[in-house]
Chain A
């Protein structure tokens, strides 16, 4: 190649300035409020769809039934993630775009907020001609008025005042624009707390009866549904014994439950509805109550064949069964038993007269059916089934999450931000004390965020009161 020969580049298909302009337009749109509103509407639409389309995680039974009836439709909706809508790729993309948009909006607003909270002499304008001020008025003042009187009264009305009687600028709630940043920053805290909680989340169910010790063994959690192990972090590290379980029922309303447990240090804790046992970033939330009777089977000579505690899920009228000594026992449970109109029934949910209605069978052949009250017994085919105790068992929903304090800080910040921004909005006034037609007057102009007519009422009231106070002096 000769030294003076120029290398000719192929001309680009799209000129650079057009690419730059396109990128700028995209950034401008991504950071626009119009885009925020589009995203919020789309997210709202996804949430509404989620209410009508049965969700796999929330409505498992309904979902599976529906899947059997309409396999093609469900497969189609599954494909687009509409049956797991809150974690579907579409929703996550919308959330990502939302937070991208929010970041860009906040970034753009930083200099605006800075400039708005700064007060300088430049803001002192002639109230008669100042632009952007919707409220204008003048009030006669007494002669020989001390220059500072009016300004001090403004300060008493929580205005930050700059200047003197010849020209002043006052602003109330000067830092209100900061609240805008706080409110929107709270979204990031909620997002951060939410993400940490999702990735450190352990969920499991465990059923524990009175007197049972639990030391956090993973294999003791229920298999159905299987425990959800955390993507990062550990499962709950706990150790406690259930000391007592005491349900409280009035007629058919559960008015409370008191589960007492002792931790490894012997310290007593009480679990109830709304009061879970919290330890190691974990909560043991009461979910369900059952009875765990001790049944002992005896043969015809009175010798014990077998005996065990059985955790029966029968409290809400569901049947349950257990096997003992080669027999299958199917049972219904009535909390407040009565035999009425030829039927077994319960007068209420109160544990006034707990009774099991028990059917026993072997090899598919029914041998007997009878009622067993608390600490009662039944006899069949030369055997005797005795109930020795009837303690309760409870099912705990166990959840371990980290990041909740960040999430709650987000809620707090959002609440503070929204109250500060929307209730303590800015009012600005410019004014001067000058002579008009030979009379000393307070000439003012005022404006407010959000409101015009209502702000005019507020300014009128404030200045009238101020002038009255000046007159009184």
Chain B
């Protein structure tokens, strides 16, 4: 890791940890006013993370595209960017960070434990398809993470509203109906970008490995994950799965994406993908 990269990386982790604590405080002590201040904190962490990426770019000459560490760094950046963007568009959605920030914190912690050494860009990654494939992979991961966060908020808010005295911390968030639809909307966005990611990956694979589909473990998991979200959309549109069921689906389905990005290489070491092995 570059010197300034290490500093900004750790600073962003500390800020995200404090922000996560702030969200927990807001819910437990029923203080909704804290949320907007904590969101400012998240924005500060985001700036620090951006600077860490810039420092790494300065040291290597390329954006962090590969390996578990770089994936955590850049993938986490996309999730936080998405969270801040929707929070900026609609203040009621600032609370989504309560779901996404802990996820990003775990990703950054995990990434730090992997190999963060500075390496030149591998030849296999020097192609326009990398940018298309990985960019859409991050967008889909970000959208699915937001769907999970909206699902968590929906379940918490619904539980709170069932009580005699609801927790006022949830008043700042959108109504249950809107949260329910937001879960679906983020799933839809993730599914579209996921489709583009898989198509671009297949075309790239043809040039790189000679085969557009090789049942590589990461390929297979990405297909499984795509099918899971495809089923989620069908269940919602055709079978009318809403509210609790949809929220739980969005939370559970994210595990397939996490396995795809971080888990496959833990159990199977034969992947052609360069998440861990160059």
Show the binding face of A for B, using Cβ within 8 Å: 33, 36-37, 40-41, 43-44, 47-48, 50-52, 55, 58-59, 62, 86, 194, 197, 248, 250-251, 253-257, 272-276, 283, 285, 397-399, 404, 407-408, 411-412, 414-415, 418-419, 422-423, 450-454, 457
Contacts and interface: CB of A to CB of B under 8 A. Distances in A.
Given A250-B120, A251-B120, A422 B188 contact: yes
Contact of A454 (B185, B191, B206, B236): B185
B191 A422 contact: yes
B215 A86 contact: yes
Contact of A414 (B124, B185, B195): B195
B256 to A, nearest CB: 9
Contacts of B270: 58-59, 62
Given A58-B215, A256-B126, A404-B206, A51 B221 contact: yes
B126 A273 contact: yes
> Interface of chain A, helix or strand or loop or mixed?
helix
Nearest to B271: A51
A414 B121 contact: no
Contacts of A275: 207
Contact of A274 (B124, B181, B188, B278): B124
A450 B188 CA distance: 10
Given A51-B220, A415-B199, A253 B208 contact: no
Given A33-B234, A50-B215, A411-B199, A272 B220 contact: no
Interface in B208-264: 208-215, 217, 220-221, 223-224, 227-228, 230-231, 233-239, 264
B124 A399 contact: no
A37 B192 contact: no
Interface string B173-203: 0010110111011001001100110010011
Contact of B203 (A40, A43, A408, A414): A408
Contact of B227 (A40, A51, A194, A250): A40
A86 B270 CA distance: 17
A418 B191 contact: yes
Interface in B73-118: none
A415 B120 contact: no
Contact of A422 (B192, B227, B264): B192
19 contacts: A37-B234, A40-B227, A44-B224, A47-B220, A47-B223, A51-B267, A51-B268, A254-B122, A256-B123, A283-B206, A285-B209, A408-B203, A411-B199, A412-B199, A422-B188, A422-B192, A423-B192, A450-B236, A454-B178
A424 to B, nearest CB: 11
B235 A37 contact: yes
Contacts of A397: 209-210
Contacts of A44: 224, 227-228
A67 to B, nearest CB: 17
A204 to B, nearest CB: 11
Nearest to A285: B210
B119 interface: yes
B58 interface: no
Most buried by B among A41, A51, A58, A253: A51
A255 B185 contact: no
Contacts of B119: 251, 253
Contacts of B214: 58
A59 B270 CA distance: 8
Interface string B42-57: 0000000000000000
Contact of B175 (A41, A55, A86, A453): A453
B177 A453 contact: yes
A454 B181 contact: yes
Nearest to B217: A51
A50 to B, nearest CB: 7
Most buried by A among B123, B211, B213, B268: B123
A58 B127 CA distance: 26
Contacts of B237: 450
Given A285-B209, A422-B191, A253 B278 contact: yes
Contacts of A40: 227, 230-231
A125 B177 CA distance: 27
Given A283-B206, A450-B184, A419 B212 contact: no
Contacts of B221: 51
B227 A248 contact: no
A399 B210 contact: yes
Most buried by B among A250, A274, A285: A274
Contacts of A33: 234, 238-239
Contacts of A419: 192
Contacts of A399: 210-211
A77 to B, nearest CB: 17
Nearest to B126: A274
